[in-house]
Structure 1
Amino acid sequence: MKSNILLISVMLCSCLASAAVAADMPSPQEALASLVDGNARFVAGESAHPHLTIDRVLETGKDGQRPFATIIGCSDSRVPIELVMDQGLGDLFIIRVAGNVCSTDEIGSIEYGVDHLNTPLMVVLGHTHCGACTAVATHAEVHGSIPALVAPIGNAVAEVLDTQPGLEGDALVEAVVEENVWQSVESLLKRSPDTLRHIEEGSLMVVGAVYDIETGVVEWLGEHPQQSEILMAMADGSTLAETATSRD
C-alpha cells in the first residue's frame, strides 16, 4: 500500500511539474514569432546573440533546459540553427540529420522535445542546395549507410515528378527540398500519436520552413497543407497508405 501511495505521489508531482513548465511556455504563435524575428535580425546583421554567457551555462546546468521550440534540420555545416534563428543556450531543442528526414530515431527525439520538454513549436527545416536531396534527385551513387538514410527522400522526388513532370536540374532539386520538408512533417504526423495529441489540444504547432544558404533568409511554409485531413484520417485509424496525400 505504501509503495502504491509513493508511486502515485511521484507521478502526481511529475505531472504537476510538467504542467507548470507548460504553463510558463509561450504560445505556439509566440514561439514562431520569436524565430521569425530572430532570423530577421540575423539577416539584417543585427543579431542579439541572447543567452550565450557563462551565467546562462550555469543557469541551465542547475535548473535544466526549457527550450521553446523543437527543430529538426539538416546536418549541413552551413545551417547552424541557433545562429540563423539568433537564439542561445537552452532556447532550442535541435535534431540534425542529413536531409532532415523523419525516421524512427528522429521522431523519437522530436517526441522528447514535444512531450517531455513541452515545446509549443516544432519546425522541420530544410535548406536550399541540400546535398542529400540532390543525391537522391540526381540518382548519385552513394555508399555505406547513406542509401538507407536518404531513402525517405525518394518519396519527395516521386511526388515532385508526378506533379511536375519534366522538371530537372536546380529546379528539380529545389522542388524536392520543399517537398521533402512536407514528407518529413507527414511522417511525423502519421507516426507520432503524442504529436497529434498536442496539436489537437492546441498546445503545439508543427510548421515547415526552408533556409536559403545564399541569403540567410528562412522561408516559413506554415502548417502542412493537408494537416486537417491527416489528423482526421489518423483519428479514424487509417493506415499510412490510406492517408497518403499529394500537393497540387
Structure 2
Amino acid sequence: MIPPLEALQRLREGNQRFASGDRSLDNLQMLTRRDALLAGQTPFAVIIGCSDSRVPVEIIFDQGLGDLFVIRVAGNVVAPSQIGSVEFAAEKFGTRLVVVMGHTRCGAVQATLEELQRPTESQSRNLRSIVDRIRPSVEGLLATELRNNKQELTEQAVRANVRVAANNLRHGSEILESLIDHDELLVVGAEYSLETGIVDFFDGMPDSG
C-alpha cells in the first residue's frame, strides 16, 4: 500500500517525464508487466479524468499496466457510479490517493456554459445529464464579469468543476469520508494543460504537498 503523498509524488515525477518527452516505459516492460498482473492488481492512485482523446491518463503520468485505476467520463463529472468505483478501488486494492483531473479547453465545460447562455432543446437526455452535473459548479461564474471574457470564463469554469467534483467525492460517501477522516485517503483536484502537458494539482493539497 503506497501512502497518499508518496503516490502523489510518483504522479508528479511521471508527469514531468511526459512533459519533457523523457518517458521511461517501453513495450518490453508492458509485456513483462502483463504476465505479472495476472494474479491481481494494486493501483497506487485513482484518477477520475475526462474522456477527451487528448488526455490519456496513463501516458500523461508515464505509468504502466496496473499502476492506475482510471475512470474517464466527459467533463470528469462525479456521479454515483464514479463514487462507487472509487469506493471499490479504496476498499479492494487499498488505493490511498484519488485525483479528479480536468483539462484546459474542456468541451463538456464549454458546452455547459453555452447551454446556460443559450438553452437548446436538441440535446439528448444522456448528454443533458452530464451538463446538469457540471451546471452547479459553473453557473455562478456567469453572474460575474467573467461572462464578458470567454477564455477566462472557461478557464475558471474548468477549475470550478474540478473543485465541485472533488468535494462530491469527499462528502458523497460514508466509506470515503471515513477513510479521509482517518488520514487513509487523500482526494485532490488537478488540471492538465493541453498546451504544456503539465498537470497542476491545485485543490485539496496538504500543506506538506
In 2, Cα distance between equivalents of 1:166 and 1:116: 44
Deviant stretches of 4+, over 6 Å: none
In 2, Cα distance between equivalents of 1:156 and 1:224: 20
* Alpha-carbon displacement from aligned partner over 1:189-232 (angstroms, at most 9, x marks no partner): 2211111111111111110000011111111114179xxxxxxx
Match of 2:183 among 199, 202, 205: 202
Alpha-carbon distance, 1:163 to partner:
6.0
CA contact (8 A) 2:146 2:152 kept: no
Matched, 1:59 2:39: no
In 2, Cα distance between equivalents of 1:216 and 1:132: 20
Using structure 1 for the length normalisation, give the TM-score.
0.76
Q: Which amino acid aligns with 1:31?
A: A
Q: How many residues align?
A: 200
Alpha-carbon distance, 1:123 to partner:
0.2
Q: Which amino acid aligns with 2:90?
A: V
Match of 2:197 in 1: 216
In 1, Cα distance between equivalents of 2:87 and 2:35: 26
In 1, Cα distance between equivalents of 2:197 and 2:84: 29
RMSD (Å), alpha carbons: 1.9
Match of 1:107 in 2: 83
CA contact (8 A) 2:30 2:64 kept: no
Matched, 1:146 2:155: no
Alpha-carbon distance, 1:52 to partner:
4.0
**Aligned sequence identity (%):** 41
Q: Which runs of structure 2 are paired with 1:55-134 in the superposition (5 Å)?
A: 55-61=32-38, 63-134=39-110
Matched, 1:45 2:21: yes
Structure-2 change in CA distance of 1:110 and 1:91 (3 Å):
same
Which of 1 and 2 has higher RCO (CA within 8 Å, sep 6+)?
2
In 2, Cα distance between equivalents of 1:84 and 1:46: 11
In 2, Cα distance between equivalents of 1:185 and 1:88: 25
Could you tell me which runs of 5 or more consecutive residues in structure 1 were left unpaired when the two chains were aligned: 1-24, 226-248
Name the larger-Rg structure: 1
Match of 2:156 in 1: 175
In 2, Cα distance between equivalents of 1:109 and 1:121: 13
**Other structure's SS at 1:152 match:** helix
Structure-2 change in CA distance of 1:165 and 1:217 (3 Å):
closer
Structure-2 change in CA distance of 1:165 and 1:84 (3 Å):
closer
CA contact (8 A) 2:33 2:65 kept: yes
* Alpha-carbon displacement from aligned partner over 1:165-208 (angstroms, at most 9, x marks no partner): 54531111111100000110111122111111111111111100
Structure-2 change in CA distance of 1:224 and 1:134 (3 Å):
farther
CA contact (8 A) 1:70 1:123 kept: yes
Match of 2:170 among 179, 184, 189: 189
Using structure 2 for the length normalisation, give the TM-score.
0.89
In 2, Cα distance between equivalents of 1:224 and 1:196: 16
Structure-2 change in CA distance of 1:197 and 1:164 (3 Å):
farther
Q: Which amino acid aligns with 1:55?
A: T
CA contact (8 A) 1:98 1:150 kept: no
Q: Which amino acid aligns with 1:126?
A: G
